[in-house]
Structure 1
Amino acid sequence: MKRFLVSLVCVSFFSLLLPSSGQAATPVTRHTVMWSIPEAKSIPVKINQLANRQMKRVYLHVAIEDDRTLYRTFVEAAHAAGIEVYFLFGQPRWITNEGTTFRPNVEDPLAWITLYQSETMQHPDGISVDLEPYALPEWTTNQSAVIASYQRILTAFQERATAEGLPLQLFLPFWFHTVTDVAGRPVSAWAMDLASEVTLMSYRTVYGGGNGLSAITLVDTLYAANHQHNLSYALEFTELPETPNITFYGQSRQALNQLVNQTMNSSFPPRAIVYHDFEAYQAFMQHTK
């Protein structure tokens, strides 16, 4: 009887995320990622493409060695088109590059933010961080230390974003609720409490089933709903020969629309869907009907 009750509770929670039949889908807020900034002469073309794909926000990766003028030009053009820009930072090596006992050595990216803000009125709409600590070799040998450093660097980014009056958005793997910190808290819950918004890298091409988007986001979706946190989901469009089941590359637009409609029609629709990345999504849309 106890096993039956537990199963019943799990099924009940899972059913909350399933789309209701006959209900109109909630409009989709589209975000995307760009891993490199275009040349100045190409920025208007890229902004036009983003607008044509109805992108509300772009996470623009920052290479701190690049000319900051390009980022100012991009932000100005994006804002003129009604598109938000979040500066995206992501170097896993920052996590274990400790400067002191208390804070990681992240002076370069944090200083870049402050310097950029002081040089121009073309400010971004937020700061985004995608560090992926599990990519480090230390993840398999000293995971607890990596997690502690990871939390310190995210806290440092949050402090700098707050000082600049900007929201912080984080990209997380969908399975971070299974990883705990030194206090025993799931890392995904800790991150949602820290940031203004979290995007789960929930790369799936189907909504239902035990390995579908609904199931793998269930724990974090319920936590976000219970704590009034902003949660978004990311979809993949890049060619991934080793894991073709998690990308829409080579699939139909009908399959994409079905997943998006089911997701937005669930009881707890995400704040946005992030199309990763824009060049791959653009190619997908050009080659499908």
Structure 2
Amino acid sequence: MNVRGCRKLAGLLMALLLVGLQTLAYAEQAEVKATWVWQTEWIKDGGEDLLDYSREEGINLIYLQINRQMPAASYQTFVEKAHAANIAVHALGGDPGWALEKHLPDMLGLADWVNDYNAGVPESGRFDGIHLDIEPYVLPEWEIRQEQVISSWKSNISALLSRVSGSDLELGIDIPFWFDSYTLEDGTPVNEWLMGSFDHVTVMAYRNQVDSEHGILSLTRTELELADRLGKQVVVAVNTKEMPGEAHTTFHGLGREYLSSALDQLSADLSSYSSFAGLAVHDARSWRDMPAGVDAEPPNGEKPAPNPAPPSSPSPGDGRRVPDADPIERDPQVRGTYIWEARDVIEDSQEILAFAKEKNLNWLYVRLDLEQPFESYSSFVKQASAAGIEVHALGGHPIWALQENRPRMMRLVNYVKEYNRSVAGDERFHGIHLDIEPYVLPAWQADSDQVIAEWTTNLDAFVSELKKDSSLEASMDMAVWLDKHKAPGADISLSQWMISRMDHVALMAFRDTAAGSNGIVGVSKEEIGFANELGKPIILSVEMKESHEGDHITFFEEGAAFMEEELAKLPGLLQDSPAYTGHVVHAYEYWKNAKP
């Protein structure tokens, strides 16, 4: 292959020259066979199990996630063993947020870590490349500020490439097969820009058929033809992770033999492209755990989604009831916060739990990244349960109010149900909490009645699907002024309708004083009255984020101590309101950095 990068590995009986994605040691294979390793703990004992599996499957390139807290010696030991087995290792990192300017330091931190690591170890223990997995299209910002996200993503990537310039590291990035439909400001297709910026791209062709109308061959043709013209390299990737409600995107359940046959066919059929560098399987753990034989039949004629949205119909869950979460012994008064960054739970769970202990929290709304395996959350939820904290899965976006985006909501429902079926009682979520604020959409200004009609229909579907086979709690955030709107086809306010439909609501009473006509209690009195009449709990949500709507909206200016003083007044002010159940602070990332 004619891609860049080379490295001579010390200590081998023969010189092993890494030329981009190929080494002389496995030149006879003529192509890459790669996999992702997201569970960095797999290499703590030297990674012998991983290396044995890699040798068994003919893997010659590993994208290894970097945990910057792990000792460099653990990486050096593994990389040296991998090189001795003729396996290249690329440092893996990424997060959807890395497309945003505020997370540029995180991205550059990976580059700096790899540069410093490689400078401090012998040549035989150095990483051969850096591989990025950044999927900004799952961000809420993608739906409403797509051009800005693409622009900041481009800027961030340029900064990273500049940081590693001259390092001789092989640079790669994951891209979905449908990126040719998006462009930069100058009209350049996003996939063309990425191919031109990196030494190779790994195209996530996540389907489980090879040569159907919408199979892997068809979906990757555009990228391979483009790479042929650009003189760049493409690795074609398939998926083996379980994908609830999206079975057509994975080989999970189809067996290792079926996958092996599909990979052989892909290798043969794609070899005609000069840009075809090889295949990758996502990910190593799921691939290893696949049964040998087929235990399900792949669907026929499955049409691909034009974007990351899931199929329109919910997963039936094969009729199994979702088991309940273990009850939590906690104070009946809720005291909680929102965790909006899923990666905080995955990467910094101990920091969150320490904060929760310090603030005496017993309630968390936690946003989920549905691309992550279930084990990404189970340990955190288990530890939270032991600390007397209820955890509710959080999701939402303004566009979830629109009927066309109901599948996104249902994907969250399906994920949480399957998660709760798969884990122990003290690792289960207690409910699903939605944050949908469609009044920021242009459609609301154009026809708010139509948006409300679609929103309430979607919420109906959400509750019905959630309750069909579970006792998971259904809840949502609600603005204090929604009582000014009528519920479609009913002689009640939209607020009354929502309170009656949900198990509880979190009322966004964004004010910075407890008492007074424009204080937290004053702006909440209508909704609290409705909740009292309906016998439904209501949680008051307050803001710590800086607001451009006025200082009275948030405690940002006053700080955490003042906020606590005002929140302490709420039980007394609301002693005659049985619906009042406690309060939550929006949000963890602002609260932890608040003024004292």
After TM superposition, the score normalised by the length of structure 1 is 0.83
Q: Which has the higher contact order (CA 8 A, sep 6+)?
A: 1
Instruction: Please name the residue that 1:78 is paired with.
Output: 82
1:72 maps to a residue whose letter is Q
Q: Show the counterpart of 1:10.
A: none
Structure 1 consecutive aligned stretches of length 4 or more whose deviation exceeds 4 Å: none
Q: Deviations over 1:40-86 (max 9, x none)?
A: 32512321221121101000011223322221121111111110000
8 Å contact from structure 2 (residues 206, 249) kept in 1: yes
2:68 to 48, 59, 64: 64
2:201–2:233 Cα contact (<8 Å) kept? yes
TM-superposed deviation, 1:31: 0.7
SS in 2 for 1:182: coil
Question: Which residue of 167, 178, 181 corresponds with 1:178?
Answer: 181
- Partner of 2:120 in structure 1? 119
Cα offset for 1:268?
2.1
CA contact (8 A) 2:114 2:127 kept: no
Partners in 2 of 1:136 and 1:67 — Cα distance? Answer: 32
Q: Which of the pair has more CA radius of gyration? A: 2
Alignment of 1:207-218 (within 5 A): 207-218=210-221
Instruction: Write the deviation string for residues 188-246 of structure 1: whole angstroms up to 9, x where unpaired.
Output: 11100111000001011112233111111121111011222100111111111211111
Distance 1:51 1:253, change over 3 A: closer
Separation in structure 1 between the aligned mates of residue 281 and residue 152 of structure 2, nearest angstrom: 29
Counterpart of 2:273 in structure 1 is 268
Cα distance, 1:91 vs structure 2: 2.0
1:171 Cα offset (Å): 0.5
* 1:281 aligns with one of 272, 287, 312: 287
Q: What SS does structure 1 have at the residue aligned with 2:51?
A: helix
The answer on 1:244 being equivalent to 2:247 is yes
* Identical columns (%): 27
Q: CA deviation at 1:287?
A: 3.2
Q: Are the equivalent residues in 1 in contact too, given 2:90–2:129 (CA < 8 A)?
A: yes
Distance 1:115 1:288 in 2: 45
Q: Residue 203 of structure 1: SS of its match in structure 2?
A: coil
1:65, 1:97 → 2: CA distance? Answer: 24
Q: 1:137: which partner in 2?
A: 140
Tell me the amino acid that sits aligned with residue 109 of structure 1.
L
Contact 1:161 1:168 in 2 (8 A): no
Kindly provide the amino acid, as one letter, of the partner of residue 283 in structure 1: D
Q: Cα offset for 1:87? A: 0.3
Distance in 2, Cα, partners of 1:134 & 1:88: 19
SS of alignment partner, residue 217 of structure 1? helix
Residues 282 and 28 (structure 1), Cα distance of their counterparts in 2 relative to 1, 3 Å cut: farther
Please name the residue that 2:154 is paired with.
Answer: 151
Alpha-carbon distance, 1:93 to partner: 1.8
After alignment, is 171-180 or 147-156 more displaced?
Answer: 147-156
SS at match of 1:200: strand
Q: For the Cα contact (< 8 Å) 2:258–2:293, is it kept in 1?
A: no
The answer to whether the 8 A contact 1:57-1:85 is kept is yes
CA root-mean-square deviation = 2.0
Q: 1:40 aligns with which of 34, 44, 51?
A: 44
Query: What is the deviation of 1:260?
Result: 2.1
